[in-house]
Amino acid sequence: MEMKLELVPVPVTNVTRAKEFYVEKIGFNADHDHQVNEQLRFVQLTPPGSACSIVIGDGVTEMAPGTQKGLQMVVKDVRSLREKLIENGVEASEVQQMPWGDFVFFSDPDGNSWALQQINK
């Protein structure tokens, strides 16, 4: 039986601010932004080239803002992406070299944490 992880909720306090961060500073694609009703706003964002998206919004998760930790994206060139993030005003860590890859870490405005991994072969 095939199973695909395609959507991960990321809890935020301000949906518009978070959407701007992910789209303008990180480079995600804005797939959907629907105000379904007064209690539900559904915003789906996808990293370029990814089969998995994140969802932010009002009424989409019961998790507290900032509690999604350790999300990870695999990238081809972590150093170039780090430079781009810093140019866009994102506080990103120095590149950390580990036996299984090179990593850069950052958080969104609510404190949800991300890792960028360049796999070393």
- Beta bridge partners of residue 41, listed in sequence order: 35, 58
In the chain, the amino acid numbered 99 is P
Please give the pLDDT value at position 121: 73
Closest of 17, 45, 44 to residue 29, by C-alpha? 45
User: Max CA-CA distance within the chain?
Assistant: 49
**Rg of the chain in Å (alpha carbons):** 15
Please give the pLDDT value at position 66: 97
- Beta bridge partners of residue 57, listed in sequence order: 42
Contact 72, 118 (CB under 8 A): no
- Listed as ranges, residues in the chain with pLDDT below 70 are none
Please give the pLDDT value at position 95: 98
The token pair that represents 9 in the structure block: 């909720």
The CATH number of 7-118 is which of 2.60.40.680, 3.40.350.10, 3.10.180.10, 3.50.50.60?
3.10.180.10
Please give the pLDDT value at position 17: 98
Contact 44, 32 (CB under 8 A): yes
Please give the pLDDT value at position 16: 97
Domain ranges of the chain: 7-118
Please give the pLDDT value at position 6: 95
Please give the pLDDT value at position 120: 85
